[in-house]
Amino acid sequence: MRFTFLISLLPAIGASIAWAETDLATDNVPIAAPAYQEFCINVMSGFPNDDQIARYQFFKLTQELGVDSSPMLTSALDYFGDHTVTADTPVMEVIETIANPVLRQAAPELTIANMAFLIDFANVCDSYIAGQVTGLKALNPQLSEAEFNSVISEDALYMRQILSDSLFRINAQDHEIFGPTVRAYADALVTTRDRIEFTKFENDIESIEAIFMTDLDGRLARSNDVINQEMDRETLASSIEIIDEMNAEAKRKRKQEALYTLSRILGGY
Amino acid sequence: MKLNAFALSILSAGVLASGCATTAKGSSQSALMTGSAMQQLKTQAPAGGLLAVIRYPAVVDSAAKDAYRDAYTSSPIGGKISPATADSVEAQNMADSAIVKSNYFALSLYKEMAARLPEHTVLLSPHSVKLADDGSLTSEPITEAESLPSVVTIDFATYSFPDPKKMMNSEPLTFGDLVSPLVTVRTDHRAAVPTQGILLASQPLKSHAVGGNRKTVEKSLAQIEAGNLPTAIPEHDFISFISGDKQSSAPSQGLTLTGNSNAVQSYPVEKLQLNRTAMIQLNGDTQGIADPLKDIFSRPMADRIIDLINDTPVEKAAMMRRASAISQYDPSLAALTFVGSPKADYQSRYNYAQRLLDAERKYLSVQSLRLFDGIHNSEMGAQVRDMLTAEYGVLERRRELARKQNQATALAILGAVAAGASMGSSGSTERRCDRSGRCYEVQRPNYGQRILTETLINASIYAGTQAFAYRGESRAVGDNYLTSIVPALEQQTTVQVDLIDSNETITAIRFEDLREKLQTLYSENQRSLDTIATRCAYAHDGTTKSGTWLGECSGGMAAGSGVGVIRQANGTAIEYYGYTENGQPNGPGYMVVHNPSGSYSLEGNFNGGQANGTMRVSKPGKSDQIRTYKAGQDTGGASGTAKVMSPFDNRLAGS
């Protein structure tokens, strides 16, 4: 059976409590519970290790697959999935099975089980995955690029959509206990799709902004330089020289006038 | 002694004519600094919008040059001017110089505001002074800065009394180290209904600013009635003032940093004297580092503006301009954005539209930064600084001459008084009797006294003529400057026009491209709206159905959110923003009522077009009040804990 601490047939409530207890238990350990360490390492060994980009894509994709998953959903997947994926199954094989259009139509339970395996791995080994993602980003800054990551998010959304479609194909949405969870998951996909599309839109706008702002800035700077060359500060300097001369002349004239006035007054007197 | 009297009379006349000279002093403390403390921004820029736009008269269209000069010289602030002086070249130079100085000093305020507020939230909006279709003087923005929503706009200009002979007197002046700024701060009228949106104004401009906004309100209502979202932009208040546009009244109060009492803060016309050290630093500053206006005006003004922004309801200030800006991309969405909606389809679309406006805002902020750089930090700015330094030199020279004149005048007066006293007591008298026995008194000359008197008179006459000479020289210094600076002033103006024109041409071409690209991107990414905004009838309280509604409609009547406008027979015009049913306000709403005597607003719950519940009431000259209304009637004050149902709650919650 799948690697989970949940007993698949436990009622949903019981499963939630079990998950919560496990969470509490893991509070005492720094990375992951030792019980899952081997599982995590086993699964991760199936990830590409000769190419940073491919390795990052796999880890990031897995991380994104865990989004919006709740204990109830995990229980639902355990309940509806009908296949055992072992820890040593190469992750590539798991993904290919999920993406296989024939299997999706003919055996949705198989698709669900494979997705459940990946979601479970994303949840249980989240610290390992986050560590790998951060480490790879530090090694290769290109991996932080928004556009690159948005492609991975879209792939993850596509796979989650396959899961949701598979659940609906077997009418899981009408299940008495798990139905609301399945429907909520489908609704969350719409929100996530909106978010991803908006992020892509923002990335596109940011690119346009960068191009236009840089271009405008350059053009205006050049135009400013050209126009400022028209400015001849000598015009002002020569005006000021003329003003100085006029002022000196005015001073001389006033002095002369003062003397003349004085001599007239005093002469008359 | 007759000659003595004659000389003294000349002297007295001279001294009286010369009089005491004033030394063109200004205040080293602005009224803005009183009680002012460093203000921190406590609000956020509206979604897709700005916090402040600084408008200033930057260019005078060649066809409007004469009209502008005439209007400027015939609307003096702080005194009267004779028609002959108003027509003089010097007076017209003062008018031209006001444009150059406004361009330069507006940048000081911009620099301060941009440094204090978040990035890309302050824009410059240079205005072109031109003739309107009816031949009257008006101004229009040169750039697109005012097409975006903004919490406040600031109209800035510097002023000089147009009679250059009064340069050394107390009249307002922007010359050398003296600056007389004129300012108005306005928001959208929907955010400050009782004052038509005017928050602070220089005293002479106040009624024109209120009148200008009232005119914009009228245009805005007419545009809504025509089915469009308003785009009207008021002309610059200084241009409105000099062109004698229609005035309106609004309650006013002094400058304050405490609360909002729905009155315009009145800013007196000041003559500020810039710091001497900063003026000296201007000399040779080619990089625009020195800013002598900063401490005395720009910083305290920025504090006042930030305080006003903090007190202004951001969403009400931005909602109409934002809706108008969004309507360029998505007319179906625009009228729904006044109060927003929690629906996912609306939210999604609104987020995209808002992001487009953000892109516009950032793009236009590059233009403002380059305008600043091109004018302030370059040759042009260096020339203005050279000009200010030269003017400062002129003023300092005239101040020195005024001091000398005063000293000479004082000496002349002292000399005259002393000479008068000496004349009065000159010589002694001797009693003589003739042969007939008649006796009389004979003045016996005292030669020492006489020499002293003559010396005093001569000294007084000399001092008086010197006072005359200083006075004449001082005037000549002023006149020489004003007549000789014309070529430099013209060059400055020409280059300034070229720079702004080129800046706008380049920006506009690329702005069109940007908008096209944004439109394409937006269209490619949009999901459909379940409910779209259209135009239908607004019935208000049901007595008439002649109103116009832009927003959600059903069966030809307002039903849902949007904006409605209706005019009543008594001349009252009503704007309503919020929710409706069957054409009538129903649910949370914001009603703006424009009476011929003034405007007020009601915010809260409405039923059947009438206020019903706890309402926020904003009336002229009073702080906002929370009142209880029943079926449209005010039934008294509401309790402090009573909640006003605002239509903007959705938006404030982040939608």
Q: Are B629 and B641 in contact (CB under 8 A)?
A: no
Q: Is the pLDDT of residue A179 over 50?
A: yes
How many residues comprise chain B?
655
Cβ neighbourhood burial of B15 (10 Å; 0-12, 13-18, 19+): buried
Which residue from B minimizes the CA distance to A187? B344
Residues B318, A75: Cα–Cα separation, whole Å: 49
pLDDT given for residue B650 in this prediction: 67
Average pLDDT over residues A94-113: 90
Q: Tokens at residue B655, please?
A: 């939608």
Q: How many CB atoms neighbour CB B219 within 10 A?
A: 15
Burial class (CB in 10 A: 0-12, 13-18, 19+), B558: buried
Cβ within 8 Å, pair A220-B469? no
Residue B414: how many other CB atoms lie within 10 Å: 14
Rounded Cα distance between A149 and A156, Å, is 11
CA distances from B516 to B293, B364, B520 (A): 41, 15, 6
| Angle, helix B379-424 to helix B89-116, in steps of 10 degrees | 120
Whether residue A18 has pLDDT greater than 70: no
- Within 8 A of A201 by CB-CB distance, chain B residues are 352, 355, 521, 525
Looking at residue B165, what is its pLDDT? 85
Place of tokens 């510097």: B158
φ, ψ of residue B263 to 5 degrees: the values are -135, 155
Question: Is the CB of residue B563 less than 8 Å from the CB of residue B575?
Answer: yes
Give kind and range of the element (H or E) at residue B52.
Answer: strand B50-60
Round to whole Å and give the CA distance between B429 and B127: 81
| Alpha helices, H only, B485-599 | 486-525
Structure tokens at A123: 């949840």
Interface test with B, best of A236, A238, A246, A260 (most B CBs within 10 A): A236
Mean pLDDT value across residues B284-296:
82
Confidence of residue B122 (pLDDT cuts 50, 70, 90): very high
| Residue in B359, B373, B383 closest to A224 by CB | B373
Q: Give the model's confidence band at A237: pLDDT under 50 very low, under 70 low, under 90 confident, else very high.
A: confident
Helix axes B344-376, B89-116, angle to 10 degrees: 130
Residues A163, A67 share a domain = yes
3-state secondary structure (DSSP) of residue B135: coil
Distance to chain A for B359, nearest Cα, Å: 6
Q: What is the pLDDT of residues B532-560, one digit of tens each?
A: 899 999 998 887 768 999 999 999 999 99
Residue-wise pLDDT tens digits, B460-507: 888 888 888 888 888 888 888 888 887 888 888 888 889 899 999 999
Radius of gyration of chain A (CA): 37
Cβ–Cβ below 8 Å for B366 and A217: yes
**Overall average pLDDT of the B102-127 stretch:** 96
A178 and A246 fall within a common domain:
no
Q: In this predicted structure, what is the pLDDT of residue B181?
A: 97
Q: Facing residues of A258 across strands?
A: none
Residue ranges of the domains in chain B?
2-16+397-484, 35-330, 534-652
Confidence of residue B574 (pLDDT cuts 50, 70, 90): very high
**Over pLDDT 90: what percentage of chain B?**
56
Binary contact (A216, B491; C-beta < 8 A): no
CA B143 to chain A, closest CA, distance in angstroms equals 14
SS3 of residue A111 by DSSP: helix
- pLDDT reading at B126 higher than 60: yes
Residue B232 burial by Cβ neighbours in a 10 Å radius (0-12, 13-18, 19+)? middle
Asked if the model's pLDDT at residue B62 lies above 70, the reply is yes
| CA dist B603 → B47, B251, B599 (Å) | 22, 21, 14
Rounded to the nearest angstrom, the gap between the alpha carbon of residue B100 and the centroid of all alpha carbons in its chain is 16
Sign of the CA dihedral running B644, B645, B648, B650: positive
What per-residue confidence (pLDDT) applies to B448?
Answer: 78
Q: Residue B654: its pLDDT value, please?
A: 43
| Residue B446 near chain A (CB below 8 Å) | no
| Low-confidence winner among A10-14, B513-517, B561-565 (lowest mean pLDDT) | A10-14
Residue B431 confidence (pLDDT) above 80: no
CA distance B197 to B190: 7
Per-residue pLDDT tens for B578-629? 999 999 999 999 999 999 889 999 999 999 999 999 999 999 999 999 999 9
Q: Give B458's pLDDT tier (boundaries 50, 70, 90).
A: confident
**Mean pLDDT for the stretch of residues A195-214:** 90
Number of structural domains found in chain A = 2
* pLDDT reported for residue A26: 45
Check CB contact under 8 Å for A254 and B473: yes
For residue B627 the two structure tokens come to: 């009142």
Contact A224 B525 (CB under 8 A): no
Q: Are residues A133 and A190 in the same domain?
A: yes
Residue B382: predicted pLDDT: 87
Q: Is residue A220 part of a domain?
A: no
CA distance B338 to B336: 6
Q: What are phi and psi of B178, to 5 degrees?
A: -110, 135
Q: How confident is the model at residue A33 (pLDDT cuts 50, 70, 90)?
A: low
Q: For residues A2 and A120, is the Cβ–Cβ distance under 8 A? A: yes
Distance from C-alpha of B193 to C-alpha of B213, rounded to nearest angstrom: 11
Residues A238 and A146 in one domain: no
Euclidean distance between CA atoms A109 and B327, whole angstroms: 49
pLDDT band of A34, cuts 50, 70, 90: low
ipTM higher than threshold 0.85: no
Please check whether residue A68 lies inside any domain of the structure.
yes
As to burial, measured by CB atoms within 10 angstroms (0-12 exposed, 13-18 middle, 19+ buried), residue B505 is exposed
Contact present, B593 and B603 (Cβ < 8 Å): no
> pLDDT digits over B367-389, tens only?
999 999 998 988 888 888 888 99
Structure pTM?
Answer: 0.84
B499 touches chain A (CB under 8 A): yes
The fraction of chain B above a pLDDT of 70, given in percent, is 94
Position A189 pLDDT exceeds 70? yes
CATH number for region B534-652: 2.20.110
Tokens of B151: 């919490």
Query: If DSSP codes are grouped into helix, strand and coil, which group holds residue B579?
Result: strand
Distance from CA of A155 to the nearest CA of B (A): 18
Task: Assess whether pLDDT exceeds 70 at residue A194.
Answer: yes
- Do A150 and A78 fall within a single domain? yes
Does residue B472 sit at the A interface (CB-CB below 8 Å)? yes
The tens digit of pLDDT for each residue in B198-241 reads: 999 999 999 999 999 999 999 999 999 999 998 889 999 999 99
Q: Is B516 helix (H, G, I), strand (E, B) or coil?
A: helix
C-alpha–C-alpha distance, residues B413 and B372, integer Å: 53
**Looking at residue A57, what is its pLDDT?**
92
Query: Are B387 and A221 in contact (CB < 8 Å)?
Result: no
Which chain A residues touch B465 with a CB distance below 8 Å?
258-259, 261-262, 265
Structure confidence by residue, pLDDT tens digits, A48-88:
878 889 999 999 999 999 988 899 999 999 999 987 788 77
pLDDT at position B589 is: 96
Task: Give dist(CA B105, CA B108) in Å, integer.
Answer: 5
Please report the pLDDT score of residue B6 as a whole number: 57
Task: Answer yes or no: do A128 and A239 share one domain.
Answer: no
Cβ-Cβ contacts under 8 Å for A44 (sequence gap 6 or more): A125, A128, A132
Contact call for residues B75 and B16 (beta carbons, < 8 A): no
Is the per-residue pLDDT at B3 higher than 70? no
Tell me, yes or no, whether A227 lies in a domain. no
Q: Let me know if residue A199 belongs to a domain.
A: yes
Model confidence at B335: pLDDT above 70: yes
Q: Do residues A77 and A118 share a domain?
A: yes
Mean pLDDT over residues B566-574, rounded? Answer: 91
More confident: B527 or B164: B164
Give yes or no for a contact between B367 and B503, defined as CB atoms under 8 angstroms apart.
Answer: yes
Query: Do residue B503 and residue A257 have CB atoms under 8 angstroms apart?
Result: no
Residue range(s) defining the domain that contains residue A239 = 234-268
Same domain, A166 and A247: no
Instruction: Give tens-digit pLDDT for B148-165.
Output: 999 999 999 999 999 988
Least CB–CB distance from B469: residue in A219, A239, A258 = A258
Residues B549/B585, Cβ–Cβ less than 8 Å: no
Q: Do B6 and A261 touch (CB under 8 A)?
A: no
A242 neighbors B484 (Cβ within 8 angstroms): yes
Cα separation of B413 and B419, whole Å? 10
